[in-house]
């Protein structure tokens, strides 16, 4: 396979084509197909999504590399959109981080992000986060960069320092990560456009804004984030939350009324699903 056709190269090309690049969170293959149908050029697999959607567990560092690889393979088999994968803290030592990178490349991912929380991590928008020293995070990044078997595979560094140490310290950490070789920065839990601007003006690589619902970051629009220099806008679990709410209403309605008749208009039809899956052509 030529480098220009690799998943990492497709992610970089998408970033060049669309500024900021909207990245849609997908928890499984069918949501990846829907994101592609809607016109997204890049997609994302959330560690929280793996824990909650695939295992019914909270995002507290309880899922493994193998859990993430399984969902990665299913998604990359279904669509050719470049997939950015949440690799949490890398699941262990430098040797384990090296294995993580190699396995994600083999599974078809376009890139990963590693974060600077301790191994017993928690949601980036919850209190009580603890960080490793900058030097330890730099070691994580060095291991990931050294392990790449595909130079186009994207290594992104996530910093949770804004909520723990403040914006200035977070920018200092981010620049250390860039000096080591991080190619993009995931700036978590920023609370103002002014702070996004400080970040993008101070860091030489593309900065990602995590626009997740019910968190610390306001739901800024693409236009607002473009004005402050953000290059990637992530919606990690937007569709998943909407799906859950819809499913809960369906189950409640079925249980209380004994029929789904009133909900038919809100459903994806059989024809719509079969069209998405290319069912009719394959049936022939």
pLDDT surpasses 60 at 2: no
Q: What is the pLDDT of residues 45-87, one digit of tens each?
A: 999 999 999 999 998 888 999 999 999 999 999 999 999 999 9
Q: What percent of the chain has pLDDT over 70?
A: 95
Taking all residues of the chain, what is their mean pLDDT, rounded to a whole number? 94
Within the chain, residue ranges assigned H as helices are: 7-17, 29-38, 47-49, 55, 65-78, 94-106, 134-147, 161-165, 167-180, 193-202, 222-227, 238-257, 270-277, 279-283
What number of CA atoms fall less than 13 Å from residue 229's CA on the CB side?
16
Q: Which of 44, 196, 220, 235 is catalytic?
A: 44
218/127: higher pLDDT: 218
pLDDT at 216: 93
Is 86 catalytic? The answer is: yes
Q: Locate tokens 């593309």: which residue?
A: 206
CA-CA distances (angstroms) from residue 223 to 20, 72, 186, 191, 219? 9, 30, 19, 17, 12
Q: Which of 115, 116, 160, 183 is catalytic?
A: 115
Q: What is the pLDDT of residues 158-217, one digit of tens each?
A: 999 998 999 999 999 999 999 999 999 999 999 999 999 999 999 999 999 999 999 999
Is 44 catalytic? The answer is: yes
Is 158 catalytic? The answer is: yes
Q: How many angstroms separate the CA atoms of 84 and 259, rounded?
A: 40
Q: How many angstroms separate the CA atoms of 129 and 123, rounded?
A: 8
**Which tokens belong to 129?**
């986060």
pLDDT at 99: 97
Is 88 catalytic? The answer is: yes
Q: Which of 88, 98, 116, 195 is catalytic?
A: 88
Q: Which of 12, 28, 59, 71 is catalytic?
A: 59
Is 280 catalytic? The answer is: no
Q: Which of 116, 150, 188, 195 is catalytic?
A: 188
Q: Which of 10, 41, 140, 158 is catalytic?
A: 158
Is 165 catalytic? The answer is: no
Q: What is the pLDDT of residues 207-216, one digit of tens each?
A: 999 999 999 9
Q: Which of 10, 28, 177, 210 is catalytic?
A: 210
Is 123 catalytic? The answer is: yes
CA-CA distances (angstroms) from residue 175 to 80, 134, 158, 185, 277? 32, 10, 12, 9, 44
Q: How many angstroms separate the CA atoms of 221 and 226, rounded?
A: 9
Q: Which of 12, 28, 123, 150 is catalytic?
A: 123
Q: What percent of the chain has pLDDT over 90?
A: 89
Is 55 catalytic? The answer is: no
pLDDT surpasses 60 at 1: no
């Amino acid at each position: 396979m030529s480098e220009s056709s690799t998943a990492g190269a497709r992610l970089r090309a998408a970033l060049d084509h669309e500024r900021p690049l909207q990245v849609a969170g997908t928890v499984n293959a069918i949501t990846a197909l829907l994101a592609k149908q809607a016109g997204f050029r890049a997609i994302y697999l959330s560690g929280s999504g793996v824990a909650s959607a695939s295992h019914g567990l909270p995002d507290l560092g309880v899922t493994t590399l193998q859990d993430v690889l399984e969902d990665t393979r299913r998604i990359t088999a279904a669509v050719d959109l470049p997939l950015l994968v949440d690799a949490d803290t890398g699941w262990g030592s430098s040797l384990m981080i090296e294995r993580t990178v190699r396995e994600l490349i083999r599974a078809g991912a376009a890139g990963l992000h590693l974060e600077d929380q301790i191994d017993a991590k928690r949601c980036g928008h919850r209190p009580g986060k603890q960080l490793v020293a900058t030097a330890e995070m730099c070691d994580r990044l060095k291991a990931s960069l050294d392990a790449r078997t595909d130079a186009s595979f994207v290594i992104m560094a996530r910093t949770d320092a804004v909520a723990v140490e403040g914006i200035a310290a977070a920018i200092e950490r981010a620049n250390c990560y860039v000096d080591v070789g991080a190619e993009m920065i995931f700036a978590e839990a920023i609370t103002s456009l002014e702070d996004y601007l400080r970040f993008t003006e101070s860091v030489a690589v593309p900065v990602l804004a995590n626009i997740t619902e019910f968190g610390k970051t306001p739901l800024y629009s693409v236009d607002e984030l473009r004005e402050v220099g953000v290059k990637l806008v992530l919606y990690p679990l937007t569709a998943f939350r909407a799906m859950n709410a819809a499913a809960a209403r369906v189950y409640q309605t079925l249980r209380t009324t004994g029929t789904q008749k009133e909900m038919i208009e809100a459903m994806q039809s059989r024809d719509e699903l079969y069209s998405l899956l290319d069912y009719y052509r394959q049936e022939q």
